[in-house]
A and B are shown apart, each in its own frame.
Chain A
């Protein structure tokens, strides 16, 4: 299941849907808006998507993950619009018979999403300025700003 939403992500509902009698493991990954990047303070991140293409890419990601690992359930949800600090911009939930596959699939899904899916974030800095994040182009991109603080 994939979804782009303008509303807060209901992680409890996702985890409930991930339950399966053959599952021995459920892994949930959340990417959340972090307040500090170096010494700069973020109020919120604004997310924009090329929606038709992003949905298609997310479906392809789920299909490929299901081909690579024995996934019983697989959910990828990305929030659009304004995401304040501490809230989740992305959620990935996978359930598998054994935990190694769930961790591996979850890691691959978030890494590939961040690399391929046409979604962009804009920093809302505490000083009132804004800045699109484009790795390789913008200053923030150079520093590898990610919603959950990982480099691409």
Chain B
């Protein structure tokens, strides 16, 4: 399945785009996605160890399951305020 990942801030800057397209097996989880992105986008690797993930606008964990309809985002450490 194809999962799209929204990028923000330094992740968007390093990937030079605001969305990634990642091919994953059906029933893949956030942990699977992180592994795929680490390999496919080495420029993002330093960020991935510190970043959170969001699925459908809520923070996710490694076990969160993904579908093609999932709205997925990579959330680098936040700095609002």
Residues of A within 8 A of B (CB): 31, 47-50, 52-54, 56, 78, 89-90, 110, 113-122, 132-138, 141, 145-148, 150, 152
Which residues of the partner chain B approach A48 to less than 8 Å between Cβ atoms? Answer: 8-9
Chain B residue nearest in CB terms to A46 = B9
Interface residue from B6, B46, B57, B80 paired with A119 (Cβ < 8 Å): B80
Residue B75 interfacial (CB < 8 Å): yes
Check A114–B57 contact: CB distance below 8 A: no
Residues of B within 8 A of A (CB): 6, 8-10, 13, 46-47, 50, 54, 57-58, 71, 73, 75-81
Chain B residue nearest in CB terms to A49 = B80
Q: A50-B8, A134-B50 are in contact. Are A120 and B76 (CB under 8 A)?
A: yes
Check B80–A120 contact: CB distance below 8 A: yes
Interface residue from B50, B71, B77, B80 paired with A90 (Cβ < 8 Å): B80
A47 to B8, CA, bound (A): 11
Check B73–A121 contact: CB distance below 8 A: no
Interface residue from B47, B57, B77 paired with A53 (Cβ < 8 Å): B57
Check B50–A137 contact: CB distance below 8 A: yes
Check A50–B81 contact: CB distance below 8 A: no
A147 to B46, CA, bound (A): 25
Q: Looking at B54, B75, B78, which has the most chain A CB atoms within 10 Å of its CB? A: B78
Check A137–B10 contact: CB distance below 8 A: yes
Q: Looking at A110, A113, A114, A120, which has the most chain B CB atoms within 10 Å of its CB? A: A120
Q: A120-B9, A122-B9, A132-B9 are in contact. Are A52 and B79 (CB under 8 A)?
A: no
Check A137–B8 contact: CB distance below 8 A: no
Interface residue from A117, A118, A136 paired with B8 (Cβ < 8 Å): A118
- Sample (8) of A-B pairs whose CB atoms are under 8 Å apart: A31-B81, A50-B8, A54-B80, A89-B81, A120-B76, A134-B77, A134-B79, A137-B76
Q: Looking at A89, A90, A132, A150, which has the most chain B CB atoms within 10 Å of its CB? A: A132
